[in-house]
Amino acid sequence: MEKYEMQELVGYGGCGKVYRAWDKEKKQMVAIKIAHLTVDDGIPETALREISLLQSLSDSIYVVRLLNVDYSEANGKRHLCLVLENMDIDLKKYIDSRTRMSNVPIIPPSDVKTSVSNRDLKPENILMDISRGILKLADFGLGRTITTPEDYSPEVVTLWYRAPEVLLDLPYSTGVDVWSLGCIFGELLIGRALFNGSSNMDQLLCIFSVLGEPSEDEWPQVKSVQNLCQLKEQKPVQLGSIFPNLDLDGIDLLSKMLQYNPTNRISAAMALEHPYFDNLDKSEY
């Protein structure tokens, strides 16, 4: 690691702290994610998973590039270091620095051409190159390849961005990323989290307060929620009243991203074909 001049701490990833650093050989800024290695456990599973997925997604210009994997040992401590391309800022910091925005394009999840699900999409895990106006997905420590809905681990996705099927510990697929991006889309527009619950159940109630209580016809799994608590009847709020600066195409897209039933939720590929993105250059997707 002598080739790198460590600078400031810029964030925390699924498997360790992330620093900005200067690559003295290549004369460029990089980001270095440092995972602590233990004698008993060896390399963290999240680090192995992230390395594998970043390598498989290396052709995508919308996924942060893995430049190198290095190893360091100092003061009796061993570390695995993921050297990544440097980005200017994460989307959370960008949102916090700005007021409300309108008609904001949003990056699609990483399953447009693959079956990879990030499973932890949130503003902190979307990085920005401000000068080029590019957004890139980062932190694939919880990511995995998903082909069909199955009973995967429910311990995924930061609470405010969890899809209903994850909150209820039901089988899920790549649609969980679409739901997360719907939440992020809304957050870009209003400058705060769209649903900010304090627990799985409270998160569901926050969702119900905006989207209304789903019917059994719309989402049969809602019966499992009703068995857990007594719900007051909730009627949906008009999304246009929450997002007055979003055009009709944007409202339609957002509503399709936030469908309760994952089988009715728009896919990433279909989202790119939505009229909201008609002015977007889709040649790279």
Note the pLDDT of residue 98.
74
Which residues are CB-contacts of 212 (< 8 A; sequence separation ≥ 6)?
234, 235, 236, 237
pLDDT band at 275 (very low <50, low <70, confident <90, very high): very high
Question: How deeply is 176 buried, as exposed, middle or buried, from its count of CB atoms within 10 A (0-12, 13-18, 19+)?
Answer: buried
pLDDT band at 197 (very low <50, low <70, confident <90, very high): very high
- How far apart CA 247 and CA 223 sit, in angstroms, is 34
The pTM for the full model equals 0.87
Domain ranges (residues) in the chain: 4-85, 89-277
Residues 263, 171, 187, 237, CA torsion sign: positive
Q: Is the pLDDT of residue 101 over 90?
A: no
Q: Under CATH, which number does the domain 4-85 receive?
A: 3.30.200.20
**Residues 95/123, Cβ–Cβ less than 8 Å:** yes
Note the pLDDT of residue 178.
94
CATH topology of domain 89-277: Transferase(Phosphotransferase); domain 1 (1.10.510)
Cα 55 from chain centroid (whole Å): 18
Question: How deeply is 39 buried, as exposed, middle or buried, from its count of CB atoms within 10 A (0-12, 13-18, 19+)?
Answer: exposed
List, by residue number, the catalytic residues.
Answer: 120
